[in-house]
Structure 1
Amino acid sequence: MTLANQLTLVRIVFIPLFVVVFYLPFGWAHFVSALIFSVAAITDWADGYVARKYHQSTPFGAFLDPVADKLMVVIALVLLVGLHQSPWFSAAAIVIVGREIVISALREWMAELGQRASVAVSYIGKIKTTMQMTALIVLLADIPLLLWVGYIALYGAAGLTLWSMILYLRAAWPYMRATATPEDEPEEP
């Protein structure tokens, strides 16, 4: 078990912790939940850095890291949809979660075609992730004076989410349009 994989596992362990703290009946609960989420987000950066710098990339880590990221984001959004009950907030959350499902399926399909690099993480995706994490941390903290920052970052992340999904789909489009070969045809019973 490499250090990079251990950091990813720590991130997964932090998920139920920040959920439990979020629901504690204390005034500080949301702020501490945001702190736990922040530490988990830092482990996301750290595990990638450690894996690259110390050549600790493993197939297990390549599988687990994006799973941990998506679990963290989706669970935080579910908590926040309950806290910030608004159709606009829900729409942004749906866009972000829906995009993650579409892109995960697209990456898996492209990998089967041997074209995984065609849908690699882009610069826009990194900016989107930064905005998204900023939004989630600010909104989890639930500090009234800063909520506008969280909303702007969330809507910005949702917009970049749509844009990056369009870019990924455009890159994959030639493969989607390809004609099926005889071996792709289903066998008759």
Structure 2
Amino acid sequence: MNLPNKLTLLRVILIPFFLLFMYINIPFHYGIALMIFAAASITDALDGKIARKRNLVTNFGKFLDPLADKVLVIAALTVFVELEEVRMGAIPLIIITAREFMVSGLRLLAANSGIVVAAGIWGKLKTAFTMVAIVAILFWLFICYDFGFELPGAFRSFVDNIFVPVLVWISTILTVISGAVYLKGYWHLIDSDK
């Protein structure tokens, strides 16, 4: 197994540990979850670059890399919906998950037609912003709940009720835009007249 595939596999292995530390109530559990998520995000940035630079692109990597990304992000967002400490409803999660299913379906149809669907600029922007947003939310949990810093009420209310939801909704909007771009570009594959 080559290095990029090992990094992708490591990302998959880190997901249950991330979930464990999000739920287990031990000192600094949010900080540990933050470090695990950040490490997994770094492997996401590295594996593709290394694979392309060293010409190590494999079918295994093409399959597992996007799957690992999707599971990591959806796992984090699902936990956020459950946590009382994070003001996130289920609607962004549903939209983001639906887009991931749609793009995966388009990629499958494209592959059957011999077409490779590369990640576009909107997809990359969506992924990068979502990863940064999740890291920011995890950092906020780390500061507030692991350390228990006494922050001014107005500031804490602003972050909880405005800043965090805005991060989530920007990610959701970027997800919708990138999904629409994919759908427009590959609509011919699902044209009902064919």
TM-score by length of 2: 0.83
Moved more, 84-93 or 52-61: 84-93
- Structure-2 residue corresponding to 1:187: none
Alpha carbons of structure 1 residues 149 and 39: separation in structure 2 relative to 1, 3 Å: farther
Separation of aligned partners in 1, 2:17 and 2:190: 41
Matches within 5 A, 1:26-175: 26-84=26-84, 89-117=89-117, 120-141=118-139, 142=141, 143-144=143-144, 145=156, 147=160, 148-175=162-189
Give the unaligned 5+ runs of structure 2: 145-155
1:151 partner letter: P
Q: 1:114-168, CA deviations, whole angstroms, 9 ceiling, x for partnerless residues? A: 2334xx3111111111110011122233145555544322211100111111111
Structure 1 gap ranges (5+):
181-189
**150 and 54 in structure 1: CA distance in 2 versus 1, 3 angstrom threshold:** farther
Which has the higher relative contact order, 1 or 2, with Cα contacts under 8 A spaced 6 or more apart? Answer: 2
User: How far apart, CA to CA, are the structure 1 residues paired with 2:187 and 2:84?
Assistant: 36
Counterpart-to-counterpart distance in 1, 2:185 and 2:65: 23
Aligned residues: 178
Distance across 2 between alignment mates of 1:33 and 1:176? 40
Q: What's the offset of the Cα at 1:100? A: 0.4
Change (3 A) 1:126 1:149: farther
Alignment partners' CA distance in 2, 1:78 and 1:140: 13
